Amino acid sequence: MKRKLFLCSFIFFVLFASLKAQSNYKKGYVITNDNDTIYGLIDFRTDAINATRCTFKSEQAEKIYYPGDIAGYKFSDEGKYYVTREVTIDSIPQKFFLEYLVQGMMDLYYLRSDGKVYYLFDKDGDLIEITKKEDFIDVNSLRLIKDVKYKNTLKRYFKDYPTITSRLSNIDFKQKSFINIAKLYHDETCSTGEECIIFENQHPDKNPSVLQLTVFGGLQWGTYTLINDKDRKYKFGGMQPTIGLKGNVFNPRWSQSFAVQLEVSFSRIDGSNEVVFSGYKLNFDMNVIYGTGKVGLEYKLPLKKIRPLIGGGLAYTRIFADNVKYSYQNSPEKKYLYSLRNSYFGYFINAGVSYALNKKHDLLLQASIQQNGTVDTAQKNGSDKFKSYNIVLGYSF
């Protein structure tokens, strides 16, 4: 019942938080249809979102522009420039904000829409669309099937320029490769000697995802519950130090609040207890080291300095240094080894707060609870349980 309540509460929280507007404002300006320039802040989102709207914030108010409402917009520091153009996709004319990559004798634009990527060459107002299908693995041959038809399309289009076609056999479907083609075409056809303008930054194909690492240490209360043949429970554990590494993967252009959380930590259990097995009283001494891996989602409130956070997901704990011995009360000098259940699948929930030291470094204070799942019938002593609580202090970079 508690697990169901936790899962329902966490799912509700994630859905509620996802409904809140996410933003990632950067310095930029919009260009009106009258060719006026208005400076302010622009929401820097994913390529697909940037192609369909421009959320602009000035000193007066916030306004959303759609393709055709303005001539274009540009991010000042990121080097991304978008212009309104009409494109025919699947025989349907549509207006988009195309990302302007190269301006020259032949302009080059980039568009991501409905999960597909398009490169569009513009010569004298005619747009030539280049796209490709996603690579996939053939289930029969287990071979990776790549769509390379775009190379033949490029060869036909640039057939009169052998210096370009000679490079097309090995061309990648990436912005940098297409920028080089447009630049090479400009250099061959521009009679005035002027250089083309490349609007994109120096790393056009850089993955926008960010990995933030956090090293942490603190205290953990780990409890191993041993269950005897009569289903009686005996607990071992106490407060022990813990250390670990946490990694949050997020895409700030999609959301600065949501992240995929990956974590690994280590701690130990050290304790003694009197256990009854088959009517015999046994003295148990437990000293084990265990590691825990976690994968889940984390939501952090997008505030400036102090950012509360909450997360949860799946957890796996593995006991890898098992030193458990027991003795009969009538002969305590003779010790016997006892094998614990060594694997635990379960869930975790954590809550805490991070404090931003600067743009890249944070301090983290986090509390967490982990509970393993149901009985594991595949393992010896599969009814034994593991549970832990911890509080840690970390440094993020």
Percent of residues, the chain, with pLDDT higher than 70: 85
Residues 176 and 219 in one domain: no
Domain final residue, candidates 175, 198, 221: 198
Residues 151 and 176 in one domain: yes
Q: Is residue 6 in a domain? A: no
Domain final residue, candidates 172, 198, 224: 198
pLDDT at res. 326: 66
Residues 142 and 285 in one domain: no
pLDDT at res. 189: 87
The answer for residues whose C-beta is within 8 angstroms of residue 80's C-beta and 6 or more apart is 44, 50, 74, 99, 199, 200, 201
In whole numbers, what is the pLDDT of the chain averaged over residues?
83
pLDDT at res. 46: 86
Name the pLDDT band for 7 (thresholds 50, 70, 90): low
pLDDT at res. 191: 78
Q: Is residue 109 in a domain? A: yes
What is the helix (H) or strand (E) element at residue 111, kind and residue range?
strand 107-113
Residues 191 and 260 in one domain: no
Q: What is the pTM of this model?
A: 0.64
pLDDT at res. 145: 81
Q: Does residue 23 or residue 346 have the better pLDDT? A: 346
Q: Is residue 138 in a domain? A: yes
Q: Does residue 61 or residue 245 have the better pLDDT? A: 245
Name the pLDDT band for 24 (thresholds 50, 70, 90): confident
Domain final residue, candidates 198, 230, 263: 198
Residues 225 and 157 in one domain: no
Q: Is residue 284 in a domain? A: yes
State how many domains the chain has: 2
Residues 235 and 174 in one domain: no
Q: Is residue 82 in a domain? A: yes
pLDDT at res. 19: 45
Mean pLDDT of 261-270: 91
Tokens, residue 325: 């011995």
Task: Name beta bridge partners: 342.
Answer: none
Q: Report the C-alpha dihedral over residues 338, 343, 349, 355, rounded to 10 degrees.
A: 90
